Amino acid sequence: MIIDTLANAHLYYGLGPQFVKAFGYLATTDFSTLEKGKYEIDGDNIFAIVNEYDTVPASGEQMEAHKKHIDVQYIVTGAELIGHDFLQQQVPSKAYSETEDYMLFAEKPSFFTKLAAAHFAIFFPTDLHMPNLLIDTPQRVKKVVIKIRIA
């Protein structure tokens, strides 16, 4: 996992051209005009999901992981906690869904990171993550999750 600000995105261009495209999209798109939904960047290989929601307590959530995609989670407005951990020998509480590309894990996160506007987190298939968590009280967040296909 990688956690940083969009101002430092150039440091991660070495991860591949798909990351250059993803960060370019984040840097040049006016998200204040985009509605919730899915937006293609490079067909099914790279796409963005724009979402708005109120943050929630960690007690009712589970960590997730993906097999086919890397997540680049970018906060447009608001702030949230994201719980995370390393995927090791944990057994999924919800089996992997091939069509939705996720599985859930009941374990509690080992780490929590606060993400605010202009921050991003990259989660690889070896990273468990629990996004959308409240910091002290619920607040409205607008987030873009870019999915980068790896399989």
In tens, the pLDDT along 43-69 reads 999 999 999 999 999 999 999 999 999
Place of tokens 């929590």: 112
Q: What are phi and psi of 64, to 5 degrees?
A: -130, 165
Q: Quote the distance between the C-alpha of residue 124 and its chain's center.
A: 10
Place of tokens 């002290």: 136
Residue 151: pLDDT band by 50, 70, 90 thresholds? low
Residue 117: pLDDT band by 50, 70, 90 thresholds? very high
| Average pLDDT rounded to a whole number, residues 107-136 | 97
DSSP per-residue codes, 102-149: EEEE-SPPSEEEEEETTEEEEE-TTEEEEEEE-SSS--EEEEEEEEEE
Place of tokens 């440091």: 11
Mean per-residue pLDDT over the chain, rounded: 97
Task: Please state, in angstroms and rounded to a whole number, the distance separating the CA atoms of residues 143 and 21.
Answer: 18
| Average pLDDT rounded to a whole number, residues 80-91 | 96
Percent of the chain with pLDDT over 70: 99
CATH number for the region 2-149 comes to 2.60.120.370
Per-residue buried b or exposed e for 14-48, using 16+ beta carbons within 10 Å of the residue's own CB:
ebeebbebbbebbeebeeeeeeeeeeebeeeebbb
Q: What are phi and psi of 138, to 5 degrees?
A: -60, 140
Helix (H, G, I), strand (E, B) or coil at 88: coil
Q: What are phi and psi of 95, to 5 degrees?
A: -60, 155
Task: Answer yes or no: is pLDDT of 112 > 70.
Answer: yes
Please give the model's pTM, rounded to 2 decimal places: 0.96
Q: Quote the distance between the C-alpha of residue 132 and its chain's center.
A: 9
